[in-house]
């Protein structure tokens, strides 16, 4: 029964009850005479009353002879003592009864209204569809005009765009792709680190194909009520079927598709029911109808294997961090609406940002624009981009954080030790800038190193050189001051991680040999079958664990001794440049290059 029909039924029921009440009141009023109590006593003395009924407040009865056509009467009682006193003076008196109708009505109506008010409030809190429609899908439907995104707005992921172009062609002409008996994949899973543009790419597919775009987050399927998530999955697919051809996009699929039984503790019945319903829907719809499911996640290693099998998510598209060419293309997209100075070379900006994702580059352009606006410039310069990179990588400058002269001297030698070792050894990332201005939460100084090109492999020598450069700051403190400080804590952590990986994963230890003692867990984009590290034990004994610790310690000590040797041979250059750094607080790349020409050439550089 719909809302309008329920309203009509309630209306006629209230009207019927009202008519009955009026009829009863009129009937009683026409048959019973209401008389004062003084008249009742007079009629009683005259013997005209046949019978009487007495209650706490009223006296009612029947007269022997009708008065004014009425034989029944009713009168409100009065206290006998007061009645006798009034009779002495011939006063006409009658009882007055306080009406409690309104009070009685409120005692019934107010609780009912409070109950229905609370029910209505809970209905609104339960979601946009209300408490009784909690299973309705919350997917927001985008049409082509709403997305406003096409492939021209997406850059740096050419391979992923090429894969998805086929989906666009299929949505435009499904019959063309089925003429040879083939079918399009039912589901396409976009894999990639956060910020690489997976959601933007899905919107671009809908914008290019000009089809409805159903977008929902995986977390919105899961609710506190059992069965609600499964109902929302059914409703979402039903809506999409009605508007096919269409695209269903589920963001953060890992919130919905976590592997069943992966965690033995806690209840996951609601999530498993929702996942089971999604698997059923994937088996149940025909891709030839023009319905395509896109999903995105940055944690594919925890997805249920049933989701990734053929016939469900048939195709997996990697949306990875862009290379240098991709970063240039992304910067061109994000700099369309900003004003750049003539000296800005996007290729140089791309070289400054290895490892940045599309979201990072968008933030970089915005930060540079804000910096240029803050200094009231007419356009964004390359210096603004450099400053924006430092703000993103190292944090905000803390010029108000005052260091005592001794601390500044230690920080200057520490950072210059990093720079000098990094400039001396081959295969180390290029030193771009050195500063003793505090940044971020705990950095008292920083040395920015950037690779000259994108690298995917590193040799053992390059890893050792990188470790040596990381320990250059600690070595400089030891050479100049003959003591160690807490400033190298982060450097030691990074060096220890590299050394342990060299021993346990890369087989770069002569003592332990070419054996991997660290079975790689199923992390992002890993095809390994091993369970997560917190659910497995080491595959080696205690003697091997001791040997690993000894090898890691020996590697770190060896590279530290090497860093000390390099800086000892160039101690004069270290002290001069540290003094210059104390004066200027920041040294750029051009000034750092003169360090290489300071003093005799390092024997380490010649040996490498």
**Cα angle, residue 289 at apex, residues 283 and 292 outer, rounded to 5°:** 65
Cβ atoms within 10 Å, residue 606: 7
Q: What is the 3-state secondary structure (H, E, C) of 259-289?
A: CCCCCCCCCCHHHHHHHHHHHHHHHHCCHHH
Question: What is d(CA 243, CA 247) in angstroms, rounded to the nearest whole number?
Answer: 10
- % helix, strand, coil for the chain, step of 5: 55, 15, 35
Find the farthest-apart pair of alpha carbons in the chain and give their distance in angstroms, rounded: 144
412 near 445, Cβ under 8 Å? Answer: yes
Please give the distance of CA 2 from its chain centroid, rounded to a whole number: 38
Helix intervals (H) in 126-209: 144-147, 158-172, 174-177, 198-209
Question: What is d(CA 564, CA 269) in angstroms, rounded to the nearest whole number?
Answer: 59
Instruction: Based on the residue annotation, tell me whether 591 is a catalytic residue of this protein.
Output: no
Report helix angle 405-424 to 571-584, nearest 10: 130
Instruction: Determine which one of 208, 223, 270, 415 is catalytic.
Output: 415
Question: What is d(CA 453, CA 360) in angstroms, rounded to the nearest whole number?
Answer: 19
Question: What is d(CA 198, CA 367) in angstroms, rounded to the nearest whole number?
Answer: 23
Q: Across 28-161, where does the E strand assignment appear?
A: 32-34, 49-54, 58-67, 70-76, 140-142
3-class SS at 74? strand
- Looking at the DSSP assignment, which residues form a beta bridge with residue 140? 215
Q: Nearest-CA neighbor of 201 among 236, 231, 228, 163?
A: 163
Residues with catalytic annotation?
415
């Amino acid at each position: 029964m719909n809302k309008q029909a329920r309203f009509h039924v309630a209306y006629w029921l209230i009207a019927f009850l009202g008519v009955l009440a009026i009829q009863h009141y009129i009937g009683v009023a026409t048959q019973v005479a209401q008389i004062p109590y003084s008249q009742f006593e007079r009629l009683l003395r005259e013997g005209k009353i046949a019978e009487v009924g007495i209650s706490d407040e009223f006296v009612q009865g029947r007269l022997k002879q009708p008065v004014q056509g009425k034989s029944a009467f009713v009168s409100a009682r009065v206290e006998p003592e007061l009645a006798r006193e009034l009779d002495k003076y011939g006063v006409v008196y009658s009882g007055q009864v306080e009406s409690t109708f309104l009070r009685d009505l409120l005692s019934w109506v107010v609780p009912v209204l409070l109950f229905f008010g609370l029910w209505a409030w809970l209905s609104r809190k339960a979601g946009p569809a209300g408490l009784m429609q909690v299973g309705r899908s919350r997917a927001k439907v985008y049409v082509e005009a709403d997305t406003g995104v096409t492939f021209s707005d997406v850059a740096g992921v050419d391979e992923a765009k090429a894969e998805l172009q086929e989906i666009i062609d299929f949505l435009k002409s499904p019959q063309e792709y089925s003429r040879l008996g083939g079918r399009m994949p039912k589901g396409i899973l976009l894999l990639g680190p956060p910020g690489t543009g997976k959601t933007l790419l899905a919107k671009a597919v809908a914008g290019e194909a000009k089809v409805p775009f159903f977008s929902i987050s995986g977390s919105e399927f899961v609710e506190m009520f059992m069965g609600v998530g499964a109902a929302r999955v059914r409703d979402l697919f039903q809506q999409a079927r009605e508007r096919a051809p269409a695209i269903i996009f589920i963001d953060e699929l890992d919130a919905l598709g976590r592997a069943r039984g992966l965690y033995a503790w806690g209840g996951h019945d609601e999530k498993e029911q929702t996942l089971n319903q999604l698997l059923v829907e994937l088996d149940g719809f025909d891709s030839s109808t023009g319905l395509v499911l896109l999903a995105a996640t940055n944690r594919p290693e925890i997805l249920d294997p049933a989701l990734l099998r053929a016939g469900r998510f048939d195709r997996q598209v990697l949306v990875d961090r862009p290379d240098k060419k991709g970063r240039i293309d992304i910067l061109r997209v994000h700099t369309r609406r900003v004003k750049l100075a003539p000296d800005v070379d996007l290729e140089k900006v791309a070289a400054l940002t290895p490892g940045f994702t599309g979201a990072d580059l968008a933030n970089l352009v915005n930060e540079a624009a804000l910096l240029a606006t803050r200094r009231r410039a007419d356009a964004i310069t390359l210096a603004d981009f450099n400053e924006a990179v430092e703000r993103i990588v190292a944090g905000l400058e803390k010029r108000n954080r005052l260091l005592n002269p001794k601390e500044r001297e230690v920080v200057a030698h520490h950072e210059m030790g990093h720079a000098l070792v990094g400039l001396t050894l081959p295969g180390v990332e290029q030193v771009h800038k050195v500063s003793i201005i505090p940044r971020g939460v705990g950095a008292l100084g920083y040395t920015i190193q950037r690779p000259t090109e994108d690298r995917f492999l590193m040799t053992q020598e390059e890893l050792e050189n990188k470790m040596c450069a990381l320990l250059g700051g600690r070595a400089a403190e030891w050479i100049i001051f003959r003591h160690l400080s807490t400033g190298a804590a982060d450097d030691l952590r990074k060096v220890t991680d590299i050394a342990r990986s060299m021993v346990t994963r890369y087989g770069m230890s002569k003592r332990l040999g070419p054996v991997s003692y660290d079975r790689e867990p199923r992390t992002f984009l890993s095809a390994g079958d091993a369970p997560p590290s917190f659910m497995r034990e080491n595959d080696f004994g205690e003697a091997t664990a001791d040997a690993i610790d000894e090898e890691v310690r020996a590697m770190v000590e060896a590279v530290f001794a090497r860093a000390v040797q390099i800086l000892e041979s160039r101690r004069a250059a270290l002290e001069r440049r540290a003094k210059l750094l104390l004066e200027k607080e920041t040294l750029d790349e051009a000034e750092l290059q003169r360090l290489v020409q300071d003093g005799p050439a390092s024997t380490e550089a010649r040996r490498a």
